[in-house]
Structure 1
């Protein structure tokens, strides 16, 4: 199983941010642009794709899973909707317990699906969120005490929101 940090990175392989910071417009982009780009991303995170590098169909599957998981975060429906196309089963593990096993295909894809499913089972998935700023939508792991964090970073998105709210309130008072 991989870490939730890898899942966060996977969700952020598409960058939808369009805000301006210090007068510079952020340029959105897609990191999974080819099977080779997928292979590079997997290699950088230690995810095994065996002797056969990812193909175009693998790229499509990865993007479809990422899209479904991001949509589940937006709709706040949990990860079940995102995992609907990826079968899971329980298998005995070495300690005599049970573990979730994905049977989606390539080992790297199974590792991602198993990590998401495991995080749901442990109650950790609810801490994976998309930034509430409509011009950001960056995925982040909410480390706030009560689990109600809304911004990927308080210094950027949270501050921009609070500044807008303050200016709006001042404008209405005037």
Structure 2
């Protein structure tokens, strides 16, 4: 089974960040643009694409899974939509493992895709998936694993997105307070 870090990297093959930092605007982008780009990503994460060369349909399958997983992360917790909705197109079953126990197995015909699906399903069963989130900043949406003690982290990086949010809130509160106070008397 893969680590959730690999799944996090998979989710971040779509970069939706558009914020400006230190005067530079981040340019969003798609990393899975071709079979070659997918092959490179798989190789970088020690995932085998098998003996068959990757095709456009493989890229489309990867993007479809990534999209479903990202949508599952966006859903409000109150709606009680689980990761199961994201995995509904990927049948899972229990199979014996080498230690004599059972493991979750997917059978899409794409071993690399199955590895991602199995990792997500396993992490959901353990409760770890609840800590995989998308940054709450609407101009970021970077996937991250929440390492906060209580599991209620909202920002991919407090020093970037969290700080931008807190600064924006402070400025809005200060601006709102200035308008309520009215014009200041001149001396």
Specify every segment of 5 or more residues in structure 1 that has no aligned partner in the other structure, as ranges: none
Give the alignment partner of residue 87 of structure 1, picking from 87, 91, 105.
91
1:78 aligns with 2:82: yes
Q: What are the residue-to-residue correspondences of 1:96-111 with 2, within 5 Å?
A: 96-111=100-115
What's the TM-score, normalizing by structure 2?
0.91
Give every structure 1 segment of 4 or more consecutive aligned residues whose post-TM-superposition deviation is greater than 4 Å: none
What's the TM-score, normalizing by structure 1?
0.98
Q: What are the residue-to-residue correspondences of 1:100-139 with 2, within 5 Å?
A: 100-139=104-143
Specify every segment of 5 or more residues in structure 2 that has no aligned partner in the other structure, as ranges: 179-187
Q: Is the 8 A contact 1:127 1:142 kept in 2?
A: yes
Describe the SS at the equivalent of 1:90: strand
The count of corresponding residues between Structure 1 and Structure 2 is 174
Residue 83 of structure 1, CA deviation: 0.6
Q: Distance in 1 between matches of 2:39 and 2:83?
A: 24
Residue 78 of structure 1, CA deviation: 2.8
Q: Distance in 2 between matches of 1:173 and 1:50?
A: 62
Q: Distance in 2 between matches of 1:159 and 1:29?
A: 24
Q: Distance in 2 between matches of 1:157 and 1:53?
A: 39
